[in-house]
Amino acid sequence: MKNGNILIIGGYGEVGGKIAKLLLQSYPNRIWIAGRNIEKAKDFCVEHKNLVRPLQLDVSEKVHPEQLENVALVIMCLEQKDTAFAQLCLNEGIIYIDITASYTFLKKLEALHSLAIQKHSTAIFSVGMAPGLTNLMAMHAARQLSSLEKMHISILLGAGDTHGTAAILWILQQLNKPFSSYNNHKVANFTNKRTVKFKKIGKRSVYQFNFSDQHTLTKHFPSIPIVTRLGFDVEPLNKFVSFLQKSRIACLLKFNGIQILLASLIQKIKIGSDVCGIQIEAIGTKHHKEVSFTLDFLDRDESLVTAKVAAFIANEFLNNKHPAGAYHIEELFTLDTLQTQFDMSLQ
């Protein structure tokens, strides 16, 4: 087992806190809860009988190597503007895990591959439900075909789930940010509706959305149309968000104050359930016949699903040797390795 402490940046947040609780079972007194708000970090530690330690750390400012003394592994649960902190971790030989869903930032992390190899360290990202589990499910589905021609990734989130503020703000911010799809055409988020029948839930509308998995998977499947869509378990909410997008009212969300106000309302008004789901539909050929392969995942509490994936990856790195470099989750792991964490049939 790799010695040293586990540092969770944003460890008192919705996802970070759940990661800490999962890892605490195996690593008591080795986990540091870090962030700008030391009081929140201290409160979290008290709630968990001081088996975790608080640390005040602002990764938007310069962090010095001595602040990471005796740290073996870092789990980043906050959005960042640059890779300075990730570079510091790799320079110090610290394993770096990131759960960000931002493709713009993931591209910056990919660029650290040479540095990580040079420093004999590892960075792994696309760790969570989406991206993360979606990447692994997509790779598994593609392997069931002789050739892949098209792939649909559909993500279902529960409107009644307890989503973290950062996650809600990220989704709201995307409504005003068109992105380039597989054919380099500009696409507005929450458009191009598709109806999907989710396991045990039924039919729901899902809309094209800028999750990073559809972009990073093109490394494995160049020129193959891979489209990720997002929807909620409450169908009227899907229609409402689609209306906002079509009416251009969503442009008001470019103002930070309105984003924060709406995020607060979403967290207070509970409609729907805490369900979360993924459906992968891979279309192609097998034995010279046109076929499609569908793979479903259904669970509850999206942040806990992300936490389970992150905790599993952290445990794997602390207990097993992995190659140096900077990788997306599907470049080092398969869906089979995570199957034990979830109730999932791979048939």
Give me the CATH number covering residue 85.
3.40.50.720
pLDDT of residue 342: 82
| pLDDT tens digits, 68-118 | 999 999 999 999 999 999 999 999 999 999 999 999 999 999 999 999 999
Among the ranges given (131-140, 255-264, 266-275), the one the predictor scored with the smallest mean pLDDT: 255-264
Query: Is 68 among the domain residues?
Result: yes
**DSSP for 153-179?**
EEEEE-TTS---HHHHHHHHHHTT--E
Query: Is 15 among the domain residues?
Result: yes
Query: Is 205 among the domain residues?
Result: yes
Query: Is 347 among the domain residues?
Result: no
Residues 121 and 231 in one domain: no
Q: Which helix (H) or strand (E) holds 15?
A: helix 14-24
Spatial contact of 282 and 293, defined as CB atoms under 8 Å apart = yes
Q: Does 286 score more than 80 pLDDT? A: yes
Q: pTM, whole model, 2 decimals?
A: 0.93
Among the ranges given (8-17, 44-53, 249-258), the one the predictor scored with the smallest mean pLDDT: 249-258
Q: Does 270 score more than 80 pLDDT? A: no
Q: Does 271 score more than 60 pLDDT? A: yes
Residues 82 and 163 in one domain: no
As a residue count, the chain comes to 347
Residues 137 and 165 in one domain: yes
The mean pLDDT value for 137-164 works out to: 91
pLDDT of residue 177: 83
Among the ranges given (102-116, 130-144, 163-177, 250-264), the one the predictor scored with the smallest mean pLDDT: 250-264
Q: Please, which residues bridge with residue 98 across strands?
A: 76
State the first-to-last Cα distance of the chain, in angstroms, to the nearest integer.
Answer: 34
The mean pLDDT value for 323-347 works out to: 87
Query: Is 346 among the domain residues?
Result: no
Query: Is 315 among the domain residues?
Result: yes
pLDDT of residue 163: 62
Residues 266 and 328 in one domain: no
Query: Is 180 among the domain residues?
Result: yes
Spatial contact of 248 and 261, defined as CB atoms under 8 Å apart = no
Residues 316 and 287 in one domain: no
Residues 149 and 189 in one domain: yes
Domain that holds residue 78: 5-128+303-341
The mean pLDDT value for 118-133 works out to: 97
The mean pLDDT value for 19-35 works out to: 96
Residues 114 and 143 in one domain: no
Q: Can you tell me the distance from the alpha carbon of 343 to that of 308, in angstroms, rounded to the nearest whole number?
A: 12
Give the total number of structural domains in the chain: 2
Among the ranges given (90-99, 208-217, 231-240), the one the predictor scored with the smallest mean pLDDT: 231-240
Report the sign of the C-alpha dihedral through residues 227, 230, 233, 236, in that order. negative
| pLDDT tens digits, 307-320 | 999 999 999 999 99
Query: Is 72 among the domain residues?
Result: yes
Residues 200 and 322 in one domain: no
Residues 70 and 200 in one domain: no
Q: Which of 3-17, 238-252, 269-283 shows the highest mean pLDDT?
A: 3-17
> What is the pLDDT confidence band of residue 128, given thresholds at 50, 70 and 90?
very high
- Domain of residue 226, CATH code: 3.30.360.10
Q: Does 215 score more than 90 pLDDT? A: yes
Residues 78 and 176 in one domain: no
